[in-house]
């Protein structure tokens, strides 16, 4: 296992299933970490369904420049260094690849992108617990994983699988993000838990991990993301932006605490004396 020398921390944003807002969370988390004063990169690891180019507002057809006939220069969007399979193929192209080809493509994007000196590289994982997750965990040192779920029971079932998978490969769980937690009516202010409530807390209790974010079900998040202007970058005063910034602060705090815990662990040395 190696560590990319110019990247201080690699963070996985993962989910057990699709449709829980993982990619939206990854993009806004990257932007939140940037607004907290960090140099940030964003890697779209979903080879089959890359969404980063659209969500970050990259003009269709934009391709990375090649350096030294090998390294891809990341595309910069909203101040974030980005790379994605969506930059390398036409948006209508279906990636009909078997697992070895997928793993090879992912590893190349991870290690052959000419990232700058980054404080954080946020990796938007594909849904599930498959080849990409295992390849990443086994190839580079990961600072931790953020598990995104909704309060819905079926999403929680799959989120548990994601947590179990990362535990098996010794990747620290930074915490659970409960996405689409509460919907607030824009006309009357009534709050409604459309997808249920308490799901993140149940995961927290069962696995001893923190709930590090509760994000609203808000049409502005969807509209801004679909237009390539994520809410953190385009609506600084919006309540959702405050929630993402709090998530970013919590992620930094969890990584800092994990590093302190690791430094405090005793080491045992054996000698002939």
**pLDDT greater at residue 212 or residue 257:** 212
- Taking the C-alpha atoms of residue 121 and residue 110, their distance in angstroms, rounded to an integer, is 10
Show contacts of 128-132: CB within 8 Å, 24+ apart: 128/16, 128/17, 129/16, 129/161, 129/162, 129/165, 130/99, 131/99, 131/102, 131/103, 132/45, 132/47, 132/102, 132/103, 132/106
Lowest mean pLDDT among 5-14, 88-97, 173-182: 88-97
CATH superfamily of 7-256: P-loop containing nucleotide triphosphate hydrolases (3.40.50.300)
Q: What is the pLDDT of residues 147-181, one digit of tens each?
A: 998 887 777 788 888 898 888 888 999 999 998 88
**Residue 201, H or E segment:** helix 199-207
Question: 153-168 and 199-207 helices cross at what angle (nearest 10)?
Answer: 30
Q: What is the pLDDT of residues 222-231, one digit of tens each?
A: 999 999 999 9
Arithmetic mean of pLDDT, 212-235: 94
pTM over 0.85: yes
The pair of three-digit structure tokens given for residue 220, joined into one six-digit string: 């502005």
């Amino acid at each position: 296992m190696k560590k990319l020398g110019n990247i201080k921390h690699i963070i996985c944003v993962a989910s057990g299933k699709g449709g829980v807002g993982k990619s939206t969370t990854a993009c806004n988390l990257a932007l939140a970490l940037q607004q907290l004063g960090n140099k940030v990169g964003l890697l779209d690891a979903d080879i089959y369904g890359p969404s980063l180019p659209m969500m970050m507002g990259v003009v269709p057809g934009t391709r990375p420049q090649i350096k030294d006939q090998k390294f891809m220069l990341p595309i910069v969007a909203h101040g974030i260094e980005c790379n994605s399979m969506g930059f390398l193929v036409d948006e209508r192209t279906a990636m009909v690849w078997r697992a070895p080809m997928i793993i090879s493509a992912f590893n190349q994007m991870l290690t052959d992108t000419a990232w700058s000196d980054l404080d954080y590289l946020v990796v938007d994982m594909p849904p599930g617990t498959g080849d990409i997750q295992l390849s990443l965990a086994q190839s580079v040192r990961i600072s931790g994983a953020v598990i995104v779920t909704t309060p819905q029971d079926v999403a929680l079932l799959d989120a548990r699988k994601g947590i179990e998978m990362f535990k098996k490969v010794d990747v620290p769980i930074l915490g659970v993000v409960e996405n689409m937690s509460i919907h607030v009516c824009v006309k009357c202010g009534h709050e409604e838990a459309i997808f249920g409530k308490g799901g993140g807390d149940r995961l927290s209790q069962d696995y001893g991990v923190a709930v590090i974010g509760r994000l609203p079900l808000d049409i502005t998040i969807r509209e801004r993301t679909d237009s390539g202007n994520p809410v953190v970058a385009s609506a600084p005063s919006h309540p959702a932006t405050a929630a993402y910034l709090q998530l970013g602060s919590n992620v930094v705090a969890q990584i800092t605490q994990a590093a302190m815990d690791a430094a405090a662990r005793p080491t045992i040395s054996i000698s002939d004396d």
